[in-house]
Structure 1
């Protein structure tokens, strides 16, 4: 069965607006809003229709028009969508929203690991940020993973914020793994995937002078660097059948990790 392809930028913007407006109104009312209000005139009715169709194909909006994920106003501003006004680089509300989504993603992944029968699971981020990852998990002495969890409610693209400390831990810890979690409206995981370490190494900024260094990087992850499930090296922490998987972020089924 073919999976929905990566949406165009116009389809992505339309989908985000649908997710925002469907929180308070049904499909016919939102459709009328997009058609007649000048604030939304930068996209065509066809593009809005494609955005809604993509959300329905991926299961992000039910047949009754209810969103499965919820895009907050602060996230929309951070994404710089025209529907939400000018782009905001930082705000307290946006930071608090990101923290809440991050905490929800960590808790959702903890539940999946424990429900899936992983013998040893520890939420180290609850103790300290010094570890450079959020969750320690092990199936055996040789199958261990240190999971850095990046959470989002945006099904159209995967954007993560990586700190310098997390990157430096990744560079020295072979068990470090970046797990991406799409968080649903109920706080549970809608999708779990893994971001390739080689790509992360290639994507972070380079320090160009000894007087300055980057401390945090915002990275938009391409589909070829995303693998469905928890692909921790040559083995998987949980079987794919135990993990939720929606065709989001442009995923069209398993994508082999680059060698």
Structure 2
């Protein structure tokens, strides 16, 4: 059976807007907003319809119009003269909670997969440069950096300089992305390409200036559904938590261990 086509960029943006506004209003009211408010005229009614249909098909919005994820608040409709605040304590707390939930999700999935050893090392110290240390049979070690989000339409991650340095030196390091649902469960898991990460991290131009953290907008082609090691081996059984279309991903076959 053929897989449904992937949503395009416009459809994914429409889906993101649905997720934001369905938190406070029903489908009919939100559709009216998208149809009549000039702020949303950059997308077509067809894209909004496709975005909602994709969310319903993937279970990210229930038949009654309830979102399964919480992508956070959008800007107010009359904010043309209001500066866009890039940080506040509430957002920071929410991101921290999402990150913790993502780590717990992957810890649970790895343990359910029967790995010999699974340790939450970032709970002890950030010095490791990754969040989870695990051992796959017969004696293959995995160092997993976890990035979590509640947004199924796009994947944005922040990478610290220390995490980048560890990645560059440690061939066992991989980055796993987790879509966290309202209930704290993992709705989708993907691996971010190591080669892509290495190709986009900044380079210091002078000893007088060094970067410490970078924000990365991960494209669909840099994602592999599931947790995949460098040799193509799948860490999780089957297609565990790999939802077609999340972050623009297509389904791919992974080599099982």
The alignment's TM-score, normalised by the length of structure 2, stands at 0.88
Which residue does 2:186 correspond to in 1?
A: 189
User: How much does 1:124 deviate?
Assistant: 0.7
**SS of structure 1 residue aligned to 2:248:** coil
Report the number of matched residues: 250
SS in 2 for 1:122: strand
Q: What is the CA-CA distance between 1:116 and the residue it aligns to?
A: 2.0
After TM superposition, list the pairs within 5 Å mapping 1:142-181 onto structure 2: 142-181=139-178
Provide the rounded CA distance (Å) in 2 between the counterparts of 1:13 and 1:6: 10
Contact residue 147 and residue 177 of structure 1 kept, 8 A:
yes
State the Cα deviation string for residues 13-70 of structure 1 (Å, max 9, x = none).
3211211121233212222233344554444433322221232233322233221211
Q: What are structure 1's unaligned runs of at least 5 residues?
A: none
Match of 2:137 among 140, 144, 153: 140
Q: Is the 8 A contact 2:7 2:54 kept in 1?
A: no
> Cα distance, 1:104 vs. partner?
0.8
Cα distance in structure 2, aligned partners of 1:229 and 1:87: 35
**Structure 1 length-normalised TM:** 0.87
Q: d(CA) in 2 for partners of 1:148 and 1:229?
A: 14
Structure 2 portions without partners, runs of 5+: none
SS of residue in 2 equivalent to 1:244: coil
Does residue 1:105 correspond to 2:105, yes or no?
Answer: no
Deviations 1:111-155 (CA, angstroms, capped at 9, x unpaired): 111122222111111111111000111123532101000001111
**C-alpha offsets along residues 78-101 of structure 1, whole Å, 9 cap, x if unaligned?**
xxx989876443333222221111
Root-mean-square deviation (CA, aligned residues, Å) is 2.4
Aligned counterpart, 1:236: 234
Distance 1:95 1:14, change over 3 A: same
